């Protein structure tokens, strides 16, 4: 029989394959990342339809607008199908990553050289680290800089892992506002925790020698959480490098998109109600203990936070609210001005170009995201979502030799932003 209807079994196998239920590490042999460019409304609708109906499609960069690129990680089977569908519709596409498994090896090949126990001065900021190593680093930094640093645990994750953060607060008596920085809400976006860790480490190691670091501590108290989705992050190391969500169980599939789970216009648009989707909003707002944990911590354990950055990858975007609508919030002009100055300072370091604008206008509509909630509900005027390097050459598989350049440029951007916020509270 030609083209048999998919049986429950084949559907199940395909879900298991895509969603990482397998006991072994998920293998991406022969997978390719395809960049697609819809050039008119008709092509955009067609492409959205193809993605919705397709199987074994891992969306790296979702469709949003005409002339905005879409990146899809495709299994060998789906690659053939999708490419012929696109060709038939006259939609432009090209291969970005020819062999995803090879790119995973390439990224981790260098990792294998690293020593597993690294503490304090031995910590290698130019490598990606496991959750355990990151938590060891947090502990050792809190010890090493105990006069200005305290360690905090937001809560334990769904699977019981701690969510550790560092509060850095200068000993001077001046009243300061708070600044929250977090990474790793999406598990596979490894450059986010790595960049956050680099910046925190640099601030602590140089606050006495680098006047810009000193000024950061004069202006704000810093709350820094490298990995806000520890279960997902751990899973990207042990089982599936491409895992994005949390690891909670709410239905037939595992995990919720923690950046669609915040209680602000929750699951209105740009989020999915399908538990198997990568942008599943969850059964209810704040269903994820990690997301609820951060929200509760910000509301009850901090005061006067005025800056918030949730680091992601990739696309090189410094984004402001709103995510849920293309309309702009009342503080947009100042928020965007801050982003503009940040991007300019960031670019001066290595020439890396970032764009700035509101989430819904610059990338896509996403409701229930962190920056919308921190701005609207926690009153953090300068709330940002940031997409770090790159623009797609490596995507989530950014080689580790880009960690330090990313950290250096983002830190100088952060200095500019902190100054802007300090002067425009
Ligand atoms: Zn993300």
Look at residue 173 in the predicted model and tell me its pLDDT. Answer: 81
pLDDT at 220 over 90: yes
Q: What average pLDDT does this structure show over 221-243?
A: 97
CB-based contacts of 398, cutoff 8 Å, min separation 6: 107, 190, 191, 313, 314, 389, 390, 406
| pLDDT band at residue 9 using 50, 70 and 90 as cut-offs | very low
At 237-296, the pLDDT tens digits run 999 999 999 999 998 999 999 999 999 999 999 999 999 999 999 999 999 999 999 999
Residue 387 bears catalytic tag: yes
pLDDT at 115 over 50: no
Q: What average pLDDT does this structure show over 38-42?
A: 97
Q: What average pLDDT does this structure show over 410-421?
A: 98
Pairing of strands 32-37, 92-97: antiparallel
Look at residue 172 in the predicted model and tell me its pLDDT. Answer: 84
Q: Distance, CA 144 to ligand 1 centroid (Å)?
A: 31
Find the catalytic residue in 189, 387, 408, 409: 387
The enclosing H or E element of 201 equals helix 191-206
Look at residue 24 in the predicted model and tell me its pLDDT. Answer: 80
Q: What average pLDDT does this structure show over 411-422?
A: 98
* Cβ neighbours around 92 below 10 Å, total: 13
pLDDT at 7 over 80: no
Q: Distance, CA 61 to ligand 1 centroid (Å)?
A: 10
Look at residue 6 in the predicted model and tell me its pLDDT. Answer: 42
pLDDT at 425 over 50: yes
3-class secondary structure per residue, 214-264: HHHHHHEEEEEECCCCHHHHHHHHHCCCCCCCCCCECCCCECCCCCCCCCC
* Cβ neighbours around 215 below 10 Å, total: 15
Look at residue 8 in the predicted model and tell me its pLDDT. Answer: 46
Q: Distance, CA 420 to ligand 1 centroid (Å)?
A: 25
At 55-66, the pLDDT tens digits run 899 999 999 999
DSSP for residue 326:
S
Q: Distance, CA 280 to ligand 1 centroid (Å)?
A: 13
Residue 167 near residue 152, CB atoms below 8 Å: yes
At 335-351, the pLDDT tens digits run 999 999 999 999 999 99
pLDDT at 21 over 50: no
Q: What average pLDDT does this structure show over 221-231?
A: 98
At 364-386, the pLDDT tens digits run 999 999 999 999 999 999 999 99
At 144-190, the pLDDT tens digits run 999 999 999 999 999 999 999 999 999 888 889 999 999 999 999 99
Q: Which tops the pLDDT comparison, 120 or 97?
A: 97
Q: Which tops the pLDDT comparison, 321 or 6?
A: 321
Q: What is the mean pLDDT of the chain?
A: 92
* Cβ neighbours around 153 below 10 Å, total: 15
- For 137, the token pair is 């680093």
Q: Distance, CA 67 to ligand 1 centroid (Å)?
A: 21
Q: Distance, CA 94 to ligand 1 centroid (Å)?
A: 23
Helices then strands (H, E): number in the chain? 13, 12
**Residue with tokens 């989430």, as numbered in its chain:** 359
Q: List domains and CATH numbers for the chain.
A: 8-108 (3.30.70.340), 115-423 (3.40.630.10)
Give the DSSP per-residue string, 137-153: HHHHHHHHTTTTEEEEE
Range with the poorest average pLDDT among 34-48, 70-84, 109-123, 235-249: 109-123
């Amino acid at each position: 029989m030609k083209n048999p209807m998919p049986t429950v079994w084949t559907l199940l196998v395909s879900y298991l394959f895509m969603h990482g239920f397998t006991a072994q590490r998920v293998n991406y042999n022969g997978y390719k990342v395809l960049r697609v460019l819809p050039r008119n409304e008709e092509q955009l609708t067609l492409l959205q339809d193809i993605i919705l109906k397709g199987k074994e499609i891992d969306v790296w960069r979702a469709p949003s607008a005409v002339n905005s690129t879409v990146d899809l990680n495709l299994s060998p089977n789906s690659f053939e199908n999708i490419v012929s569908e696109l060709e038939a519709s006259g939609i432009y596409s090209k291969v970005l990553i020819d062999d995803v498994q090879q790119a995973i090896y390439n990224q981790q090949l260098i990792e294998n050289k690293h020593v597993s126990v690294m503490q304090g001065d031995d910590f290698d900021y130019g490598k990606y680290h496991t959750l355990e190593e990151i938590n060891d680093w947090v502990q050792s930094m809190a010890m090493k800089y105990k006069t200005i640093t305290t360690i905090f645990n937001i809560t334990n994750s769904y699977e019981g892992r701690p969510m550790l953060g560092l509060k850095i607060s200068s000993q001077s008596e001046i009243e300061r506002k708070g600044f929250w920085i977090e990474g790793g809400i999406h598990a596979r976006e490894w450059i986010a925790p790595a960049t956050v860790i680099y910046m925190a480490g640099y601030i602590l190691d140089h606050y006495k020698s680098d006047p810009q670091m000193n000024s950061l501590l004069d202006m704000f108290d810093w709350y820094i959480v490298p990995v806000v989705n520890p279960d997902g992050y751990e899973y990207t190391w042990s089982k599936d490098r491409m895992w994005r969500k949390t690891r909670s169980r709410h239905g037939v599939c595992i995990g919720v998109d923690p950046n669609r789970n915040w209680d602000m216009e929750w699951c209105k648009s740009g989020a999915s109600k399908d538990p198997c989707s990568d942008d599943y909003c969850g059964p209810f707002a704040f269903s994820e203990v990690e997301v609820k944990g951060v929200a509760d911590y910000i509301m009850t354990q901090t005061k006067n936070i005025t800056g918030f950055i949730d680091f992601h990858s990739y696309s090189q975007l410094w984004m402001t609210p709103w995510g849920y609508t293309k309309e702009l919030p009342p503080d947009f002009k100042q928020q965007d001005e801050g982003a503009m100055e940040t991007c300019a300072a960031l670019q001066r370091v290595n020439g890396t170009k970032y764009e700035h604008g509101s989430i819904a206008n610059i990338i896509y509509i996403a409701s229930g995201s962190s920056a919308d909630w921190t701005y609207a509900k926690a009153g953090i005027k300068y709330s940002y979502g940031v997409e770090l390097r790159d623009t797609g050459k490596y995507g989530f598989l950014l080689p580790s030799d880009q960690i330090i350049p990313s950290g250096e440029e983002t830190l100088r951007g952060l200095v500019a932003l902190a100054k802007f916020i300090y002067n425009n509270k």
